[in-house]
């Protein structure tokens, strides 16, 4: 079934929420942590939803898919920054696990969305 609005995509909504969850945690870090890992993890997590929306606005299906591939790359980049944040005790293991579960859901839904584009 064709989506008519970006806001109807579950993967977009989950990605938007995820970016806000990351912001809420990183905003409380020290300057050094914010300036290094914080900026990176916020950019990569925000990029997930941003690339989905940019692709959604493209005319050709191939372009939409390409931006979704960028989004998928941002999912994996965010996993790396989460691991660094956990290793450096900026987030708890519980937070790390919770974020990874959310990212896994986004990843699965993003792959399904990519498969549906052009059909």
Structure confidence at residue 76 (pLDDT): 98
The residue-averaged pLDDT of 11-27 equals: 98
Please, what is the Cα angle at 60 between 110 and 79, to 5 degrees? Answer: 25
pLDDT, residue 42, reads 98
In the chain, what are the domain boundaries? 6-116
Round to whole Å and give the CA distance between 94 and 80. 16
Distances (CA, A) of 50 to 29, 42, 84: 24, 12, 23
Q: Are 42 and 19 in contact, with CB atoms under 8 Å apart?
A: yes
User: What is residue 1's predicted lDDT score, i.e. its pLDDT?
Assistant: 43
Nearest to 52, CA basis, from 118, 98, 119, 111:
111
Quick: pLDDT tens for 69-96: 999 999 999 999 999 999 999 999 999 9
CATH number for domain 6-116, candidates 3.90.1150.10, 3.30.420.280, 1.20.1440.60, 3.40.640.10? 1.20.1440.60
Q: Is the pTM of this model over 0.85?
A: yes
Q: What is the pLDDT of residue 3?
A: 54
Sign of CA dihedral 94, 70, 48, 5: negative
Q: At residue 49, does pLDDT exceed 80?
A: yes
């Amino acid at each position: 079934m064709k989506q008519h609005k970006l806001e109807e995509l579950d993967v977009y909504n989950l990605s938007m929420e995820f970016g806000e969850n990351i912001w809420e945690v990183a905003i409380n870090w020290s300057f050094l942590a914010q300036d290094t890992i914080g900026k990176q993890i916020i950019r990569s997590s925000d990029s997930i939803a941003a690339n989905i929306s940019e692709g959604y606005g493209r005319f050709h299906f191939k372009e939409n898919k390409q931006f979704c591939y960028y989004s998928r790359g941002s999912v994996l980049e965010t996993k790396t920054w989460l691991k660094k944040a956990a290793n450096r005790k900026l987030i708890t293991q519980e937070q790390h696990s919770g974020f990874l579960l959310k990212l896994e859901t986004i990843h699965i839904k993003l792959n399904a969305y990519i498969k549906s584009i052009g059909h």
